[in-house]
Amino acid sequence: MPSPGSAVGSLTPAWTELPVALHPTTLHTLSVLGFERCTPVQTATIPLFLEHKDVVAEAVTGSGKTLAFVIPILELLLRRGTTAEAAEAGAAARRLGGKQPTRHVGAMIITPTRELAKQIHAVFQPFLDTLRLPQFRDDPLVKPLSCQVFVGGEATMDHNLASIKAARRLDVVIGTPGRVQELLARTCPTQLVSLKHLEMLVLDEGDQLLDLGFDVSIRAILHWLPKQRRTGLFSATMTDGVQHLVKAGLRNPHRVQVTVERQHVDSATGHVVASSKVREQRIPTTLDARFLTCRLDEKLPALIQLLLDPDAASRDAPPDPLTLSAATRKTIVFMSTCAQVEHWGRVLRLLAQDPAGLTHADGSPRRLPPLPAGLWERLASFHVAALHGQLEPVKRTKIYASFIAHMTGPAVLLCTDVAARGLDLDDVDQVIQVDPPHDPAQFAHRCGRAARGGRTGSAVVMLTPEEAVYVPFMKNRGVPLRPFVTPAWDAWVATATATATATATASASADLPDPNHGAVVTAPQRPTAWRELIPADAAPWDAAAAAAAEEAVRDALPTDAVILAPDFAADPDPLATTADPAAAALTQSAPILGALRAVVSPWLYAATRTDRDLLDRSVRALVSWTRAYKEHQATFIFRLKNIHVGTLARGFGLIRLPKMPEWSDAALPATFFGRAQATLSSTGTGTDADADANADANAGADTDAQTHTDAVAPRRHGAKGTPRRCVHFVDTLRVPYVDPKREKQRLYNLARKAADAATAAAAAAAAGQPDAVPAAGTKRRRPDAAARLAQTAWSEQKAKKAVRAAKRTLREQREATRDRASMEALKEARATLAAHGGVDAPGAAARARAAAVAAAAQTMTDKERKRAAVLEAKEAVADWKELVASRKRSSGVVDDSQGKGCSFDGLD
């Protein structure tokens, strides 16, 4: 195995050449692992720790920082003799007394994620196993050390306590800040765990520990630790904030910063011609880091291309992608948000399915525009795993393990930054960043999942032309990026798509969607089946037929449900129109993804429109992407106002932007529908005004928001006699689920709503108020607050929260209304009493008052008011009883009816 030392071009010492001697068990394990020499960061830090110094170490990803603290910890624990052993003897004595012995922790490692904690535990394991080998048994320093992981989510605290009690010792604690803090709070006061003899504390990925807001937990942990200890802070990037941690936990720390030396080799002679020290380089030199300029809707095609052809950057001739070997490659793909990871994961899995086997919920074939022949078979060989922080911990562990264990073919892990730090998977060759990270410091960490331990690897980040300034920006931060130039796949895509189309046409005679337009849209449950108005032989964009259809559905479709089928071919090329000269220069190296985009975009659109689940997820993904985009720290590069909304929506398979404040002023560019407009004008069915308006719309494609709104919202602006520009409708409310169970439930809900509306209408008609309830079918759907909130929320968790909040508000509103009604009744009752002169009032009035007050008290939901109303009601009942009794006494007449009902339920 190549040494990470060689990766950075330094001649590093062998383990035995270190200024401090390592224990034979450590040397034995290192030789078994095949690690012959130290890496630079190990060379620098191991002696410092063993000389009782605190260390802040900053070294590029994959440079062996883990062993740089694991080895000193083991050495210190083996050397710590007398004090801890004496403590153990004391503990054993207490055990004899029936009390649990105290475990003396010797070292503690805090990491930001569970996966990283478990990985560090795995690094310890071979060293701990060696301590149990018979050949070292006679060594007086050797003892069976124990190391345990404590992370939130998977095991409960009780499980953790049980596992501590089950083990005889606890020498090393590895964990995430929250769980370790809780653990210490539970075990230190009871003396189950003692930190008195702690030798070393390590904060791995120290800068992130601070960034993620763990600093409170870390300070709480520091509170339990002895001052006399060694502390190490490790990361590939140190931020200013870490200075606070340094102050809090480290004493006169030594700063270790590993420099990267670059060697320039003459390609002709193969000799090193120059050598320059690049102190700030944050990525290993064995990493081929590149940027790929593409539009937002080219990211999916670009991802497909990168997955199928990971070596594209180093090839000159256009390949046949299906003959390329992605064999057992592993790729990690980073995205901004959890919703995006979920969405792209589903899309990739759908792309990898046999199109002939896709069906709707009722079992009928689900036709999608044909993709290049052989593509799905190729993608089907990929294992797709989607990992993000909102998954259940157990599921998250399972998914991660499945990615690690997959050895039988290529695998791709779609993830958020949850997998950006520290994870060491030696067979990851490629990292793709679909979105650049919010925090530029995270960039190097993401890239660093490839090219680890001296191996080679590649990293590609996708940037829009407007974001191209990111390249010099990252260069200044020690991450040089080269352009990604790839041979075009156009010829291959054209041929392979033609083959696929021919096959699909031969196997399915009817209804094959136009690959440019997704599909002709149907609204099967409309009272007027507008689709029937379009002659079967009409071209998809037949203006006259479409105009008739529009007329028919004009009032039937709710505004929210109207969207237009896009013209995928006519979108302007933002690469050609970019105003930024720096970006324009960079576009010259942009890959030509046009052909693949031209088939993938319509496919994605059709797939989204035929699966409600995918539609919901893509809306959520777009919303979350937008919100995340605003949060970029480099705001001067990532500006929402620079986003080309047409390509954004298309990138998510949508042709309409979700309602959200960020896009309230935006509308899809008119040219998104360019071909439809051109058809309308050229067929002569529109008026001259139509043609002019269309020409205007096209001319002002990217600037005139009002024109855009006209184009996308025809119902609002397309009253009779005015130009109409839309030809096809999609009723998003009608998009079905593919899952039969969910579809059945959806249809049932629709039917129930329709039945309720019909019953209400019939009841209103019978009561002689036919206008009170709108007739079924014409009732405009009031947007349901909960559903709306759920749709616009940018993560599933937030969606659930929004729904809960909306329901709570609704309940509170209902209660408030009821309380108001009760108060009204109460007031009326008081007025009645006042009008009739209090207890002297006639019996009927007293009874009415008591009844009203009691009723009000019973329905009241506000506790305070209810208590007051109940008191008042009891008083009223007492008055009434008193009145009845006095009447009986004075008249001598026993009138039973007067006394009846002198009590009301619910007043006790």
Ligand X SMILES: Nc1ncnc2c1ncn2[C@@H]1O[C@H](COP(=O)(O)OP(=O)(O)OP(=O)(O)O)[C@@H](O)[C@H]1O
* Interface ranges with ligand X (CB under 6 A): 1, 3-4, 35, 38-39, 42, 59, 61-67, 236, 422, 424, 426, 448, 452-453
Nearer of residues 417 and 424 to ligand X, judged by Cβ: 424
- Residue 201 forms beta bridges with which residues? 108, 231
Q: What token pair was written down for 189?
A: 């006061």
To 10 degrees, the CA torsion angle through 605, 607, 608, 609?
80
Q: What token pair was written down for 431?
A: 């990292």
Nearer of residues 289 and 563 to ligand X, judged by Cβ: 289
Q: 272-278 and 260-265: which strand pairing? A: antiparallel
In whole angstroms, the minimum distance from the beta carbon of 417 to ligand X comes to: 13
Nearer of residues 432 and 590 to ligand X, judged by Cβ: 432
Nearer of residues 42 and 416 to ligand X, judged by Cβ: 42
In whole angstroms, the minimum distance from the beta carbon of 423 to ligand X comes to: 7
For the chain, the residue count is 908
Measured from the Cβ of residue 658, the count of other Cβ atoms closer than 10 Å reads: 18
In whole angstroms, the minimum distance from the beta carbon of 666 to ligand X comes to: 39
Full DSSP string of 115-148: HHHHHHHHHHHHHHHHTTSGGGTT-TT-----EE
Nearer of residues 430 and 677 to ligand X, judged by Cβ: 430
In whole angstroms, the minimum distance from the beta carbon of 108 to ligand X comes to: 18
In whole angstroms, the minimum distance from the beta carbon of 122 to ligand X comes to: 10
In whole angstroms, the minimum distance from the beta carbon of 2 to ligand X comes to: 8
In whole angstroms, the minimum distance from the beta carbon of 29 to ligand X comes to: 12
- Residue 147 forms beta bridges with which residues? 172
In whole angstroms, the minimum distance from the beta carbon of 453 to ligand X comes to: 3
Nearer of residues 4 and 574 to ligand X, judged by Cβ: 4
Please give the sequence-ordered ranges of beta strands (E in DSSP) within 706-833, or none if there are none.
729-731
In whole angstroms, the minimum distance from the beta carbon of 411 to ligand X comes to: 18
Nearer of residues 71 and 192 to ligand X, judged by Cβ: 71
- Nearest residue to ligand X by CB is 453
Name the DSSP letter for residue 783.
Answer: P
In whole angstroms, the minimum distance from the beta carbon of 426 to ligand X comes to: 5
Nearer of residues 403 and 489 to ligand X, judged by Cβ: 403
| CB within 8 Å of 303: residues ≥ 6 apart | 333, 344, 432, 434
Nearer of residues 5 and 646 to ligand X, judged by Cβ: 5
Whether 208 and 235 have beta carbons less than 8 Å apart is answered as yes
Nearer of residues 64 and 653 to ligand X, judged by Cβ: 64
In whole angstroms, the minimum distance from the beta carbon of 634 to ligand X comes to: 22
Burial of residue 116 (CB within 10 Å: 0-12, 13-18, 19+) is buried
Nearer of residues 201 and 565 to ligand X, judged by Cβ: 201
Is the four-CA dihedral 867, 872, 876, 882 of positive or negative sign? positive
What value does the CA radius of gyration of the chain take, rounded to a whole number of Å?
Answer: 36
Dist. CA 806–CA 194, nearest whole Å: 48
Whether 500 and 373 have beta carbons less than 8 Å apart is answered as yes
Nearer of residues 236 and 300 to ligand X, judged by Cβ: 236
Dist. CA 89–CA 101, nearest whole Å: 10
In whole angstroms, the minimum distance from the beta carbon of 214 to ligand X comes to: 17
Nearer of residues 442 and 486 to ligand X, judged by Cβ: 442
Nearer of residues 211 and 616 to ligand X, judged by Cβ: 211
Q: What token pair was written down for 158?
A: 């009780």
In whole angstroms, the minimum distance from the beta carbon of 111 to ligand X comes to: 10
Q: What token pair was written down for 608?
A: 């989204």
Dist. CA 894–CA 127, nearest whole Å: 99
Dist. CA 602–CA 515, nearest whole Å: 6
- From the list 219, 231, 209, 151, the residue with the least C-alpha distance to 422 is 209
Dist. CA 65–CA 53, nearest whole Å: 17
* Phi, psi angles (nearest 5°) of residue 256: -110, 120
In whole angstroms, the minimum distance from the beta carbon of 48 to ligand X comes to: 16
Dist. CA 488–CA 499, nearest whole Å: 19
Nearer of residues 100 and 259 to ligand X, judged by Cβ: 259
| CB within 8 Å of 374: residues ≥ 6 apart | 322, 496
Burial of residue 267 (CB within 10 Å: 0-12, 13-18, 19+) is exposed
- From the list 552, 527, 524, the residue with the least C-alpha distance to 778 is 527
Chain centre distance of CA 467:
22
Nearer of residues 62 and 410 to ligand X, judged by Cβ: 62
Nearer of residues 63 and 497 to ligand X, judged by Cβ: 63
Nearer of residues 204 and 571 to ligand X, judged by Cβ: 204
In whole angstroms, the minimum distance from the beta carbon of 123 to ligand X comes to: 7
| CB within 8 Å of 648: residues ≥ 6 apart | 296, 297, 622, 625, 657
* Phi, psi angles (nearest 5°) of residue 272: -75, 125
In whole angstroms, the minimum distance from the beta carbon of 24 to ligand X comes to: 18
Whether 414 and 335 have beta carbons less than 8 Å apart is answered as yes
In whole angstroms, the minimum distance from the beta carbon of 62 to ligand X comes to: 4
Roughly how many angstroms between the first and final C-alpha of the chain, as a whole number?
A: 82
Give the residue carrying structure tokens 């440079």. Answer: 63
Measured from the Cβ of residue 884, the count of other Cβ atoms closer than 10 Å reads: 19
To 10 degrees, the CA torsion angle through 69, 72, 77, 81?
-160
Q: 172-175 and 103-104: which strand pairing? A: unpaired
Is the four-CA dihedral 272, 278, 283, 289 of positive or negative sign? negative
In whole angstroms, the minimum distance from the beta carbon of 239 to ligand X comes to: 15
Measured from the Cβ of residue 322, the count of other Cβ atoms closer than 10 Å reads: 15
* Phi, psi angles (nearest 5°) of residue 25: -65, -40
| CB within 8 Å of 209: residues ≥ 6 apart | 110, 111, 112, 177, 203, 215, 218, 245
